[in-house]
Each structure stands twice: as C-alpha cells, then as structure tokens.
Amino acid sequence: MSREPLSLDGLGELRRSHAARDLTPDRVGTEVVLAGWVHRRRDHGGVIFVDLRDREELVQVVFRPDACPEAHSRAHELRSEYVILVRGTVQRRSPETVNTKLPTGEVEVEVEELRLLNRATPPPFELEAETDADEGTRLRYRLHDLRRAPLQRALRLRHRLYQAVRKALVDLDFLEIETPVLAKSTPEGARDFLVPSRIHPGSFYALPQSPQIMKQLLMIAGFDRYFQIARCFRDEDQRADRQLEFTQVDLEMAFVGVEDVLQVLEEVTCQGCAVAGVELPRPFPRLSHAEALARYGSDRPDTRIQLELVDLTEAFRESGFRAFRDVVDAGGIVKCLPIHDAQALGRSEVDRLEGFVRKELGARGLAWIRVGEEGEWQSPIVKFLSDAERAAVAERTQARPGSLLFFQADQAQRADAVLSRLRTDLGQRLGRVDGRAWDVLFVVDFPLFERDEAGALTYTHQPFVAPRDEDIELLESAPERVRGTHYDVVLNGVELGSGSLRNHRADVQRRIFELLGYSKQQSEARFGFLLNALDIGAPPHGGFAYGYDRWAMLLAGFDSLRDVIAFPKTQRGQDLLMDSPAPVEPEQLDELALRIARRGRQEDD
Ligand code: ASP
C-alpha cells in the first residue's frame, strides 16, 4: 500500500529533555523529549517499536495505536536513519521484554508525540557495532560509519584524552602556544608536503613534520615551558600505523636535564591513561637501548611477552660453519630465539614461518634446532656445528627436551627485526605472556649516531638531539661512541612518543651538522635561523612529543589509527568522503605559476 510521503516537521518549541543514556528505571513516570535517529523499526502487529539512537545510547520508543493514534500512524513511515524527536513517558518494561544487552533495556518510552525532522537515504551498511563493510566502503560513507557506537566511543575517548593531557600540562605550568602550519622544511626524516606561494612564485612553504624547531625557538624566546596539540605532516608511504597528517602532543622545557623531562612524562602519561581507567605502575621501568635490543631485538619491546633473545655471535666467531662465520666476519650477528615446550609448533608451522620471514621481513632464511623428547637435536644445521658450539648453544639458550631454537645470522638490524617479530607473534600465539594488560617503560641511552646503509654517519633520531655532556669530547675523536640524551615512552610494544635534550650550544650543533655531512653553506641555508638563535643566549632545554593518534588508539583498544581519527586518509593518502586529493582549475595553477609536467599515479591506473 503506497502512502503519501510524509511532510516534515520543524523542531517547534520542543527541545530534548534527556539523552537516551539517562533513561534508567528511576525515571519511570517522567515525561521526556528525546531526539535522534531511527536505528531500527519493528512492527509487532499493531504496536511499532523504534530504537532511537542518539550520540551515546539506544532506547526503545513505542507507538501504540490506542494510546496515540496519530503518532502511531505516522510511525509506519519511519525508516532507518530518519531524524526524529519524540515526546512521551518513561515506562518500565515487563520482565519478559527487558533487554539485558542495552543499558536502557529495563525501560521504554511510550510516545505521545512524534516529529519527523528529516528523512534519510538508506544507509549503505547496517550501523551496528560489528560491521562486515570493507574499509573502503566505511571511509566513503564515513558519516554513517561514524554513527556506529564503537567510533562514537573512540572519538569521545579521544576528546577526554585531550582534556586530561591539557589539564596535566597546564597544572605543571606549561603554556599552550600555537606555531605556524605554513612553515619551513624540518628534518624529521620524511618527505615534506610543500605549499606553493602565490606571492612569491617558485617559493614554497613546508608543512611542519613536527613543531621541533619552533618549540626550541620558543625556549630561546623565554617561554620556559610550552606545549601544543599540534598537527604534523609527513609525506610518507602509508603503513597501518601511519597517517599523512597526524597529531602530536608536543612539549618543551628549559633549564632541565633528562630526569626532569621524564618526571613530567610520567605524570602526563599516567593522567592521560587514566581517562580509560588505566593505572600505570610508577616509577616507570627503564630499559637501556642496548638492553632492549639485546633481550628483545627491538627498541620498543612489549615486555609482557616472556620470550627473550640470546646473542650467540661470540660462539660462532671462529666457527667452521661458514653460513654463520661469514656473517660474523662481515660485522653481523648471530642471535637465537629459544622457545621451550614448543611441541605445538610442528614442522609445517616452522616451514610456514620460514616462508613468512623470507617474504615479509627480507630474511635470508630461518635456521632452527628442535630438541626431541630424548634430548636429541633435530635440525638441518646441527651437522655443521662443533661440539663446543653445540655446548655453547645449549648452555646459553637453556635448551631442553621440547625446545625449539630459531636463529638469525645477519646484519644486526635485520636479525633483530626478524627475531623480534617472531618473538611477539609466537609469544602471543603460544600464550607466553605475563597477564598484565598494560606495559609501560622508558627506553633511554640511545646512541647519538648510527651508520646508514652506505656506512655514513647519520642521526639516530634527529639532528638537534644533544649528546650527553660527558661525551661531547668524543664528537671529535669517536663520534659513533657518543651517547645521546634521547628517550622514548613505550606502551604495550608501541612507541608512544620520543624526545631528548637539544643542543643549546651553537658550537656543538654546528659540529653535529658537520659530522652529518652538511656543508657550512647547507647548514646555514637550512638552519641558519636556528644557529643564529642559539647564539643569542639559548638555555639548556629538552622536550618530547607523544603520537596522539596512537595513544588514543591503544586506549580505545583499536588496531587501526583510522578508527580514532574522524576523517582519516586511506593507505594511498586519499580522503574518500571528500574525494581529495583532487585536480584544481588551470587558473589556480596559473596563479601559483605552476604547470603539471606529468600526471599522477592515480590517473594512470
Ligand atoms: N620532534 C620530535 C619528533 O617529532 C619529537 C621530539 O623530540 O620532541 O619526532
């Protein structure tokens, strides 16, 4: 039976009196006005039930033909996502109709008046907590996606985290100061986003990869304690835990050493985590960078996982087993991940892991030794090992019947990356975890420099990190031994943020630029303003930046940053809702004195 389309109502003088979440049994008998969306409509032989959804909760509203014929007859027309306002009375549901899954499930609202405020096209997928819509669809129809309860909850948590962090920092006497978004290129190591200047054709602003230099300038300008919840931009290829634009809680302090900053970080981290009911142990445990790599193969280990790596490089330094010995001769390492009681990992699983580390992690292979129930060693490599090597392996790994030992012989970084990945994957899969829900730590004592693939000296974090005072001399004699002042906060195996003391002495900063291979002219062209600023009386200073999206993601219990960002970009840097990036009018290019020389990837494929 087709009906005339309904006319729409205005809000009139009616206003929402309660939110759905307020409707608990103690409101029974209260007249309420609710506003929201039709989540679901059910027609039960005359009586029509609608789940009305507002920003936090659902509540059942009931249209009975006898109680209110007019509202009831209009309720037939309601469809998913129609926008309504209802006036009615809260009633207790009969015991057999109580919905225990809903916080408001003990009551319902008997409708006396309905206002239809707007219609809606049918939603592209059901707006339930669990959805099987693929991510592309969710991002294209982001507004529907955002109406789903988990995303509403995530963004509410994100909001509370802002407030908690802000309050913690303000209570610690930090000033909130904004820095420019149209800025100059800074060397965080990623590609810059450039913005062409119309007024200065051929010149470009860079969007900040972080406010790093600006916050240092603020210290020199005398502000002493600064923070900002800052948007940062890095034109990187996307990974699951990266976005082209992301948010940092950025802070900087003057007249401080490492300990002072760590105290602040502990306080702010605890207050932030408390918004999700997470209580962190204080003081935070600390791990040196060297120890983190040695035991876990990662500078952001999840220490809840009870598996640890064993370094066997020395045992193979003189080895007759060429595959290991050659790696050691070339400066590489031999490391092992022992897993005891590993009967659950059968031969086919080991083969699968080998395929995985070769294909996904660039490993050359995955050597292994299994210790059988009688203590016998089963392994393709065991015949190459001398008795002394076998004894060393057995002793260092504590191998026993049931143990499975995985080896990597490779350049240190790659060997560690492979074993650390196996450690987390297998540790979780086999339940080798200590049961703590949260694991926070400071990782400290990073080296100032490392060698890049070509063997040249490069910075471990960024070129402004100050060396430890007692190592400044080594900048001349043995720069690779210089220890930095860098520190990270790691939460559940994720780097929550990082920071350091900075070079406040221009001579030290200049020397570091030199060691990094910048010519005098290059340093002046890129960082002249910083070097000049250091010359005007820069106080010792240091700071930190939290990866805010990651923090919110961990606290909200999601695996993807996109779930805690209102309008995120896809892996390919697109906003599917607004359809950006997009071509612009030729006149706009003319104004900027730009010409497109070649079409982008998107149009080619
Ligand atoms: N600016 C640094 C970054 O974005 C963090 C810091 O050292 O404060 O990685």
Q: What are the tens digits of pLDDT across the range 366-418?
A: 999 999 999 999 999 999 999 999 999 999 999 999 999 999 999 999 999 99
Q: How is residue 198 written in tokens?
A: 């119309």
Closest CA to 391 of 308, 481, 316, 283: 316
pLDDT in the model for residue 190? 84
For 575-598, give the DSSP string.
Answer: BTTTTBS----HHHHHHTT----S
Tell me, yes or no, if the pTM score tops 0.85. Answer: yes
DSSP 349-371: HHHHHHHHHHHHH--S--EEEEE
Q: Answer yes or no: is pLDDT of 318 > 50.
A: yes
Euclidean distance between CA atoms 524 and 327, whole angstroms: 41
For residue 210, the ligand 1 atom closest to its alpha carbon is 4
The alpha carbon dihedral of 253, 258, 260, 263 has a sign of: positive
How confident is the model over 212-235, as a mean pLDDT? 96
Give distance in angstroms: CA of 544 to centre of ligand 1.
6
The closest-lying atom of ligand 1 relative to the alpha carbon of residue 461 is 9
Going from the Cα of 461 to the center of ligand 1, the distance in angstroms, rounded, reads 8
Q: Across the chain, how many H-helices and E-strands are there?
A: 17, 22
Neighbours of 177 (CB within 10 A): 15
- Whether ligand 1 lies within 6 angstroms of the CB of 499 is answered as yes
- Report pLDDT for 419: 98
CB atoms closer than 10 angstroms to residue 198 = 12
| Farthest CA pair distance, the chain | 93
Atom of ligand 1 nearest to the CA of 499: 7
**Token pair listed for 212:** 């790093």
Ligand 1 atom nearest to 250, measured from its CA: 8
Give 330's contacts (C-beta < 8 A, 6+ positions apart).
411
How many angstroms separate the Cα of 342 from the Cα of each of 375, 407, 427, 429? 14, 15, 11, 11
Can you list the positions of beta strands (E) in 200-244? 204-206, 225-233
Burial of 384 (0-12, 13-18, 19+ CB in 10 A): middle
> Measuring from atom 1 of ligand 1, which residue has the nearest CA?
212
pLDDT in tens, 435-486: 999 999 999 999 999 888 788 899 999 899 999 999 999 999 999 999 999 9
| Predicted local confidence at residue 474, as pLDDT | 94
Confidence category of residue 358, pLDDT binned at 50, 70, 90: very high
pLDDT band at 95 (very low <50, low <70, confident <90, very high): very high
- What is the percent of the chain where pLDDT is above 70? 97
Does the Cβ of 498 fall within 6 Å of ligand 1? Answer: yes
CA distance 145 to 127: 7
CB-based burial label for 570 (10 Å; 0-12, 13-18, 19+): middle
- Between the CA of 306 and the centroid of ligand 1 the distance, in Å, is 31
Distance 496 CA to ligand 1 centre (A): 11
pLDDT at 551 over 80: yes
Query: Residue length, the chain?
Result: 605
- Nearest residue to 335 (alpha-carbon basis) of 362, 364, 300, 295: 295
How far is Cα 134 from Cα 576, in angstroms, rounded to an integer?
Answer: 13
- Overall average pLDDT of the 21-40 stretch: 97
Ligand 1 midpoint to CA 195 (Å) = 22
Name the average pLDDT for the chain. Answer: 94
Would you state the structure tokens that stand for residue 306, as one six-digit string?
């009870």
pLDDT at 208 over 50: yes
Is the C-beta atom of 495 inside 6 A of ligand 1? no
Half-sphere exposure of 581 (CA within 13 A, CB side): 10
**Would you call 456 helix, strand, or coil by DSSP?**
coil
Q: Which of 248, 251, 300, 448 to mutate to test the pocket of ligand 1 (most atoms within 8 A of CB)?
A: 248
Among 185, 188, 459, 460, name the best residue to mutate to test ligand 1's pocket (greatest count of ligand atoms within 8 A of Cβ): 188
Q: Which amino acid is at 3?
A: R
Q: Which two tokens stand for residue 222?
A: 């005398």
Mean pLDDT for 4-29 is 91
Q: Is 543 in the pocket of ligand 1 (CB under 6 A)?
A: yes
- pLDDT for 604 equals 42
CB of 210 sitting under 6 A from ligand 1:
yes
135 lines ligand 1 (CB under 6 A): no
Query: If you average pLDDT over residues 71-80, what whole number do you get?
Result: 94
Q: Is 500 in the pocket of ligand 1 (CB under 6 A)?
A: yes
Token readout for 387 is 């008795």
H or E segment to which residue 486 belongs: none
- Is any atom of ligand 1 closer than 6 Å to the C-beta of 211? no
Average pLDDT for residues 505-522, to the nearest whole number? 94
Q: Indicate whether residue 574 lines ligand 1 (CB < 6 A).
A: no
d(CA 102, CA 53): 12
Distances (CA, A) of 219 to 24, 248, 261, 381, 533: 52, 18, 14, 58, 10
Cα distances from 115 to residues 2, 23, 48, in angstroms, run 21, 20, 15
Alpha-carbon span 254 to 225, nearest angstrom: 7
Identify the pLDDT of residue 481: 92
Q: Tokens at residue 181, please?
A: 């978004």
254 bridge partner residues: 541
State how far the Cα of 131 lies from the Cα of 112, in Å rounded to an integer: 34
Closest C-alpha among 241, 337, 298 to residue 493: 298
Q: Are 540 and 501 in contact (CB under 8 A)?
A: yes
What pLDDT is stored for residue 241 in this prediction?
67
**Which atom, in ligand 1's list, is nearest to the CA of 543?**
8
**Mean pLDDT within 342-348:** 94
pLDDT of residue 600: 60
Sign of the alpha-carbon dihedral angle for 557, 561, 565, 571: negative
pLDDT at 3 over 60: no
**Banded model confidence at residue 1, pLDDT cuts 50, 70, 90:** very low
- For residue 545, is pLDDT > 50? yes
Residue type, 430: L
Q: What is the pLDDT of residue 605?
A: 41
Higher pLDDT, 5 or 85: 85
At 185 the pLDDT is 75
